[in-house]
Amino acid sequence: MRIVLVGDRIIESGWCIEELKQIAGKYGAEYTAIDWETKNVEDLRVKNMKIEKEGPSAVEPPSELRELVRDADMLIVHFCPVSAELIDAGKRLKVIATLRTGLSNIDKAHAEEKGIPVVNLPGRLNEAVSDFTIGLIIALGRGIVAANNSLRRGQWTKNFESNESFIEIPGKTVGVIGLGGIGRRVAQKLAGFDVELLGYDPFVEQGDIESLGVKMVGLEELLSSSDIVTIHTKLTESSKGLIGAPELSCMKPKSFLINTARAEVIDRQALYDVLKSGAIAGAALDVHWKEPIDIDDPFIKLENVVLTPHISGTMKESLLKSFSRLSGRLEPYYEELTKQR
């Protein structure tokens, strides 16, 4: 069994060597580990966004990968694109795996046409992103970022423009849009804050989340009833622009909007307008319509907005565990490929 692993600037191939050595020892596997080189982390993210929009053939993989994959039984990647052309080059390829939850960088349909299973890692970032979301809710609801920035400017003040919007979380209604793995973990963690939980997800039935204490409602009801709205839906054709001007107009004047999913779920101009006018109390955004965000982006000038550079899932502790978790899912394939030798 020959394994080719491609790391990158987020998960370096060197982080996986010890695990690869154990697989080699247990199954007699041979392995090659390389990295998909990019200028920096931001360059990697830009390339990944291009892949998400245009598909895995839009960006070139490492030049040596086409040769390496020819004799590989298993290809493991993180962000590295795996196009139909690369799959075709893998004459012996039996399995493709990714250290991610999403599959946008892999031509899954082409792989399956050739009878090659694609294995992903669902729930990899559930803890990291859900923790970050809770942190944003508290930071925004209590003005922590504004207070920190003020103090660093040499000001000692307890009066901010947003003081009247500060909230205590217990007793509030929180609407969770998107109840996949991350949205469910957010709901579970918020339950400890003694809140009422509303949920919206066209693909989830009430019975699926009964144990979480979430009441499934329509989108308009969720937006009009919630003091805090947090978005965790995937970006699809149906979810793109899901929150536009009509939806934002449903929200309470003192409500907050949190987005750690994808920027395109929200209409950019519509959100800016309601924040600028004070039609809603504030927003916290970890994802942006252009990344990296421009220094003169109008959202930066809004005092009622907390902005972070798409870091909710970038937590080394979670990333370091990715390969061992994926390896557990690959165990049946290791055994089968060993038998085929």
Contact 25, 60 (CB under 8 A): no
**DSSP strands (E only) in 233-295:** 256-259, 282-285
Residue with tokens 């019975």: 207
First vs last C-alpha separation in the chain: 7
37 is catalytic: no
Residue 298, preceding bond cis, omega within 30 degrees? no
Q: What distance in Å separates the CA atoms of residue 101 and residue 46, rounded to the nearest whole number?
A: 18
310 is catalytic: yes
Candidates 168, 221, 180; CA nearest to 198 is 221
Candidates 130, 131, 141, 136; CA nearest to 255 is 141
DSSP H or E run through 96: strand 95-98
Given 184, 310, 331, 335, which residue is catalytic? 310
For residue 175, which phi and psi values (nearest 5 degrees)? Answer: -100, 125
Q: Is 85 helix (H, G, I), strand (E, B) or coil?
A: helix
Contact 214, 186 (CB under 8 A): no
DSSP H or E run through 35: strand 30-35
- What is the three-state SS of 86-131? HHHHCCCCCEEEECCCCCCCECHHHHHHCCCCEECCCCCCHHHHHH
Q: What distance in Å separates the CA atoms of residue 198 and residue 226, rounded to the nearest whole number?
A: 8
Give pairs for 313-317: CB < 8 Å, separation 24+: 313/125, 313/128, 313/129, 313/132, 314/10, 314/128, 315/125, 315/128, 317/128
Q: Is 105 helix (H, G, I), strand (E, B) or coil?
A: coil
Given 66, 262, 317, 329, which residue is catalytic? 262
60 is catalytic: no
Q: How many CA atoms lie within 13 A of 189 on its CB side?
A: 19
Given 196, 221, 291, 325, which residue is catalytic? 291
Which residue numbers are catalytic? Answer: 262, 291, 310
